Chain A
Amino acid sequence: MIAILSDIHANREALSACLDHADRAGATRFVFLGDIVGYGADPAWCLRTVMDRIAHGAVAILGNHDQAVFARGTRMNGRAAAAIDWTRAQLSPDAAGFLRTLPLEHVEGDVLFVHSDASAPEEWRYVLGAEEARRSLDASPARVTVCGHVHVPRLFGLTATDKCTAFSPAPGVPVPLPRPRRWLAVMGAVGQPRDGDPAACYGLLDPAAAELRWMRVPYDVEMAAAKIRGAGLPESLADRLFLGR
């Protein structure tokens, strides 16, 4: 069982709740799907935790917020840029150096892990609808693509007659990804959900059964929000955690 954690965004409370949950659920592999930092108040702790898991066999890939820490001139909106400037000051040279080592994608069996649209991972394009999903699927031979970046759970599939279809998964319900069809799964966010449900979201992929679950894990939102305010980060980054927007 592979646990997939995307868009942690320096939310320590959400990350530790999801890791606890995944450990209890029997996850043996961990894939961090990018955007470990940005927006939230605990970038150092979250990075240390991810690096620790990597030392035990986990895999992490790069997200646009992770990249923005070391690559100047990344396009970002004001709040996100403010959070990145703040984040940069929090990180040790080691942690910042670690971010530079992250790859843009990772392949495991017939599954491709990537932060955003796989047709041009460094462009950081969102996979919002069937058209973008098709572009991403067309660019890769992998049967299943798993990405994040959008913060809203979604599943796209290519049908027998090559139509691209969309589906909104229900929390915790195993969704089969039958072979030989091709699928693109968009994970929800661990640290900043935007689908109206404030609970943290991560994925559990059972490669043998070809089943994927989008798990929802309640966590201490109050604490995560209080830390964002305490750090002097934009208020709206704290407020949105309560709404999941």
Chain B
Amino acid sequence: MPQRRPREGQVIDGFTLGPPLHQGGMASIFEATHPAHDFPVLMKLPHLDGVDAAHIVSFEMEQMILPRLTGPHVPRYVAAGGFDTPHPYLAMERIPGPSLLARLRDLPLSLDEVAAIGAKAALAIAALHRQRVSHLDIKPANILFRPTPDGLRGDAVLVDFGLSHHGQLPDLIEEEFRIPYGTAPYMAPEQAMGQRNEPRSDIFSLGVLLYQLATGILPFGEPQHLRAVRKRLWRDPVPPRKLRPEIPSWLQEVILRCLEVEPGSRYPTATGLAFDLRNPESVRLTPRAERLRRDGWLAVLERRFNRDRAPRTGRPAVTAHAAPIVAVAVDLREGSVALADALRASVGNVLRTMPGARVACLNVLLDGYITGDAQHDDEGRSSRVQRLAELRHWAAPLGLEEGRITFHVLEGSSAAEALLEYAVANGVDHVVMGARANSVLRSVLGSVSGEVAARAPCSVTVVRPREAAP
């Protein structure tokens, strides 16, 4: 095996190494170019001189997992060279811009930014979980953002799958090492106990990150030993509102729910977490929301010495649809009573098959003049408020308790675009909507449901009331 570290200008498997981006303890990362790839590429090259087995195994894991991942929330895989070649490497798309690490200089962040970052990161984690992968090393350095065309913060991108677990591949790390690997401040309690097949570990880590962004403080400090990491199994963090009183109750509720010791008490899915961060009014508040002090010493001692309190995990790394988000597009303007009823019946059927589902009722306020929609009607009432009232009225017979149903009036020049954008941004699992009944309107405006069904990232149910025989 070669002992020399890679250097700029070196050619490996057709890739020419550019300037180094990072020289870490276990690997070097270089910019790279290749005549066949016209987008920015980076190459990760593990050091082969005197590294321990953990680094090699972690590199093998990333080589196994990255090529199997797709979508905007991961860097695109380009090529790899294994440990049977002179220069093992992993080439992938380079995401421009700094990681979230750069924002840690400005802590605490504005609470709007905390929620926005959290929602984007949660959606990226959800996309990973849908591909049966738990990241298991969620931390600021591993979260980047794709820039939007106007230079804003776009989709979150997760990097470094060296500690990740794939539900359908051999887990080389679990097989090789009995001691847990991860980043101490962000590590979930079950990870500290050596469990690697729990996707909700990522939700815990994101909770630590949200706490840090909102308060400027790490909830469990920076422990140096595994024994100190395990303290989080029984010692709860100082409630964020104690440290920064302007943190709203709903945000504390969200953060502390992520930080629950028992994975089953956290958000069942990262999509649900993203949804709450985008829809504060839908967060169901519990006593967590108002807590201002840590648990008393008696409770802590009880947890500390109660051996039954090891977190219960061990489920396969898939939680998709444990708590799906169902968006129902309700068009109250032209829809007949029959369609409104059929739509409600259909949503009821979906809910019966998905008992944990949450419902988002959507209505689109078109900002064009084509349909003659005005922001205010004759009596000066806001159309938005009126529509919200109509949505609530439509949904009332469903009998859903607060926290399971939310109401949103979207704005846009195209109903389909607005619905699709909402579905993507909120990780919606299922869209239910009515078919446009009026064929004249449909031929003029096109079929909204047809377009949504064709382009949505999830299932779409199009509802049409049974037509009477001619």
Contact = CB atoms under 8 A, between A and B. Distances in A.
Interface string B64-91: 1000000000000000001110000000
A173 interface: yes
A155 B170 CA distance: 9
Contacts of B83: 178-180
Question: Interface of chain A, helix or strand or loop or mixed?
Answer: loop
B56 interface: yes
B193 interface: no
A165 B53 CA distance: 16
Interface string B154-176: 00000000000000111110011
B57 interface: yes
Contacts of B64: 176, 178
Contacts of B57: 159-160
Interface residues of A, number: 17
B63 interface: yes
B429 interface: no
A228 to B, nearest CB: 34
B175 A179 contact: no
Given A178-B63, A178-B64, A178-B83, A161 B170 contact: no
A175 interface: yes
Contacts of A70: none
Nearest to A175: B169
B253 interface: no
Interface string A155-183: 10101110101010110010110111100
A95 B176 CA distance: 48
Nearest to A177: B170
Interface string B294-325: 00000000000000000000000000000000
B170 A167 contact: yes
Interface in B303-349: none
Given A160-B53, A160-B57, A176 B169 contact: yes
A165 B82 contact: no
Interface residues of B, number: 16
Interface string A39-67: 00000000000000000000000000000
Given A178-B60, A179-B84, A160 B176 contact: yes
**DSSP class of B's interface residues: helix, strand, loop or mixed?**
helix
Nearest to B316: A170
Interface string B33-59: 000000000000000000001001100
B274 to A, nearest CB: 27
Contacts of B170: 155, 157, 165, 167, 175
A157 B82 contact: no
A160 B83 CA distance: 11
Nearest to B65: A176
A165 B169 contact: no
Interface in B168-223: 168-172, 175-176
A155 B57 CA distance: 18
- Residue among B57, B60, B82, B168 facing the most chain A CB atoms (10 A cut-off): B168
A178 B57 CA distance: 11
Contact of B176 (A161, A167, A176, A178): A161
A26 to B, nearest CB: 20
A163 B176 contact: yes
Nearest to B63: A178
A181 B169 CA distance: 15
A160 B84 contact: no
A21 to B, nearest CB: 20
Contact of A170 (B53, B168, B172): B168
A169 B168 CA distance: 7
Contact of A165 (B60, B84, B168, B175): B175
A169 B82 CA distance: 22
Contacts of B82: 178-180
B168 A173 contact: yes
A179 B53 CA distance: 15
B176 A159 contact: yes
Given A163-B175, A178-B83, 9 more contacts: A159-B172, A159-B176, A160-B56, A160-B57, A165-B175, A167-B169, A170-B168, A178-B63, A180-B84
Interface of A: 155, 157, 159-161, 163, 165, 167, 169-170, 173, 175-176, 178-181
Interface of B: 53, 56-57, 60, 63-64, 82-84, 168-172, 175-176
27 contacts: A155-B170, A157-B170, A157-B172, A159-B57, A159-B175, A159-B176, A160-B56, A160-B57, A161-B53, A161-B176, A163-B176, A165-B170, A165-B175, A167-B171, A169-B168, A170-B168, A173-B169, A175-B168, A175-B169, A178-B60, A178-B63, A178-B82, A178-B83, A179-B82, A180-B82, A180-B83, A180-B84
